[in-house]
A and B are shown apart, each in its own frame.
Chain A
């Protein structure tokens, strides 16, 4: 039978995360959002509450959460501060990759550090000339002695301002297309690795930037999984982070819509609250409808993952559509606030700037639609 309710434990968990997020994160969101510094103190508090190692099994000090529960954490944190929800998504991705592809030694070394918040992983996949088209990757990792030597450039990489280590993707076989891509663990302080920060219009605390790799030597034990399986590894985890991105945007939009609802009830025009004018109330109704549908889509995708069922199509649906409708909801929430909404003293414009990033990050709407089409129509109808 269809059951769309969260469990009692999940409801209590949502309540706890909301209490934490609204008390510890929401009040400082706007101030932090304008700076290019990672909110390290807030990340530390999240680690204390077990949020950075939420999907990691208890034996490694994690919380052992299922995917739906991780979605709850992401949505609630993002309602308060979307930038603070990012380590949960990345930590989750890292945790999942270690559990599926890491050696026992790698799991023992890395997973407890992720749960304690000591290790903050970044994901270095995109390059100046390629993103989702991994076959075009230029960065190389060539075998030399008992290790690898990395050369190349990574671009549009999050957490360049605070990551301790990166999952870095490079070609071990430069001629082999996507099948030549391998994944490595590279410490931020590796000799030969230099960073630069981009000055973005939003998500500043996440510290998007570039990595330059010049003769970076890493030991062979830094290889994650098998040589040539790096692209497969990341795509598997992207099916999960795409949904989390949807919930990050949705949480942010929910906060904006709630602000708009409160404002519409208070603000009066012609002697009555503007909420009584259909031009305002119907906007709220329409966005609430879309957001409810988006929420169901996201949690359905996470539920499918929990059941071990395919969810590539649903994950891509979340990724292209939910950031879009979230940005639209925030836009209208801003307009409902009238001239006040345009001020940077209110969080609306900031939320809009932040959410916009996720219409691009982890694959644009266009690539997501290609994936959905492929899943529906078949590989023979791919444009490439």
Chain B
């Protein structure tokens, strides 16, 4: 009966994102927040494993206190309990630092067999959290898992690669990051939503995890996010005059000048 940890994150719903036409910056105010899509797959996979093999699945999230509806959603789907890691000091943490916060919380939660993460988040899409966390906890890691089977204390996983499928196995404890293809996340029924209210939600701050506030947030993060802006695509409106041969020659010249060819 595996003891599982599922890391998930709250992101803005990208379908509602708008771009400020003057600054090209993303306008995120007032946008619905949701659990990152791939993390929903990780939650679903943990629940499926639990349904087949028993065990317990704990969701862990670094976020603002306002992310409680997302926690409730994860619990409604079937996680047994959740752990919210929330501290003003965490603001501005990069992926490496979030991995450090998660690692501290997972150590505090006690022994585990598996950690499941989404392959990447639907906002930053760095796909670095799983690998960083595995390194922090000194675990074997299976990334891009598109199918997972448990056999005793072994995990057999199919990895979706660009040029094929790789089948790998690892012993507990192990970290897996899962792809979107691994499953279809379930929707909770009303009964499950009501039952989720009774499930345990732990809330820990930096001090509870033994983390110095200097080691987290902006101060503790080697990567500083300067600006997020939408890519601007504009037509150059160059009109190629002359004969076909002349126009083709000029097109080649322009493309060479732009560094395209």
Point out residues on A near B: beta carbons under 8 Å.
8-9, 11-13, 15-16, 19-20, 49-50, 54, 58, 63-65, 69
Residue of B69, B187, B191, B194 most packed against chain A (CB within 10 A): B187
Q: Distance (Å) between the CB of B228 and the closest chain A CB?
A: 25
A8 touching B187 in the complex, CB below 8 Å, given contacts A13-B193, A16-B193: no
Q: Is B23 an interface position by the 8 A CB rule? A: no
Contact, CB under 8 Å: A49 / B193: no
Contact, CB under 8 Å: A12 / B72: yes
Contact, CB under 8 Å: A63 / B190: yes
Question: Complex: how many Å from CA A16 to CA B73?
Answer: 9
Contact, CB under 8 Å: A9 / B189: no
| A–B pairs, 5, beta carbons within 8 Å | A8-B72, A15-B73, A63-B190, A63-B191, A65-B190
Contact, CB under 8 Å: B189 / A12: no
Question: Complex: how many Å from CA A9 to CA B193?
Answer: 6
- Tell me which residues across on chain B come within 8 A of A63, comparing CB atoms: 189-191
Contact, CB under 8 Å: A9 / B188: no
Q: How many A-B residue pairs have CB under 8 A?
A: 39
Residue of A nearest to B190 (CB): A63
Q: Is B86 an interface position by the 8 A CB rule? A: no
**8 Å CB contact of B69 from A8, A19, A50, A54:** A8
Contact, CB under 8 Å: A50 / B190: yes
A16 touching B187 in the complex, CB below 8 Å, given contacts A9-B193, A9-B194, A9-B197: yes
- Tell me which residues across on chain B come within 8 A of A49, comparing CB atoms: 187, 189
Q: Distance (Å) between the CB of A306 and the closest chain B CB?
A: 15
Interchain residue pairs A-B with the least CB separation, the first 3:
A50-B189, A63-B190, A16-B187
A19 touching B187 in the complex, CB below 8 Å, given contacts A8-B69, A11-B69: yes
Q: Distance (Å) between the CB of A161 and the closest chain B CB?
A: 27
Q: Is B76 an interface position by the 8 A CB rule? A: yes
Question: Complex: how many Å from CA A310 to CA B191?
Answer: 28
Contact, CB under 8 Å: B197 / A50: no
- Tell me which residues across on chain A come within 8 A of B190, comparing CB atoms: 9, 13, 50, 54, 63-65, 69
Q: Distance (Å) between the CB of B183 and the closest chain A CB?
A: 15
Residue of A nearest to B72 (CB): A12
**8 Å CB contact of B193 from A12, A19, A54:** A12
Question: Complex: how many Å from CA A19 to CA B189?
Answer: 12
Contact with A along B182-212 (1 / 0, CB 8 A): 0000011111011001000000000000000
- Tell me which residues across on chain A come within 8 A of B191, comparing CB atoms: 50, 58, 63-64
Question: Complex: how many Å from CA A50 to CA B190?
Answer: 7
- Tell me which residues across on chain B come within 8 A of A20, comparing CB atoms: 187
Question: Complex: how many Å from CA A195 to CA B69?
Answer: 48
Question: Complex: how many Å from CA A139 to CA B187?
Answer: 44
Contact, CB under 8 Å: B187 / A12: no
Residue of B nearest to A66 (CB): B190
Interface contacts beyond A9-B193, A58-B191, A65-B190: sample of 10 additional A-B pairs, CB < 8 Å, sorted by A:
A9-B194, A9-B197, A11-B69, A12-B188, A15-B73, A19-B187, A49-B187, A50-B190, A54-B190, A64-B194
Question: Complex: how many Å from CA A12 to CA B195?
Answer: 13
Q: Distance (Å) between the CB of B79 and the closest chain A CB?
A: 14
Question: Complex: how many Å from CA A19 to CA B32?
Answer: 13
Q: Distance (Å) between the CB of B70 and the closest chain A CB?
A: 10
Q: Distance (Å) between the CB of A55 and the closest chain B CB?
A: 10
Q: Distance (Å) between the CB of A322 and the closest chain B CB?
A: 24
Q: Distance (Å) between the CB of B122 and the closest chain A CB?
A: 15
Q: Distance (Å) between the CB of A58 and the closest chain B CB?
A: 6
Q: Distance (Å) between the CB of A85 and the closest chain B CB?
A: 16
Residue of B76, B188, B189, B190 most packed against chain A (CB within 10 A): B190
Residue of B nearest to A70 (CB): B190
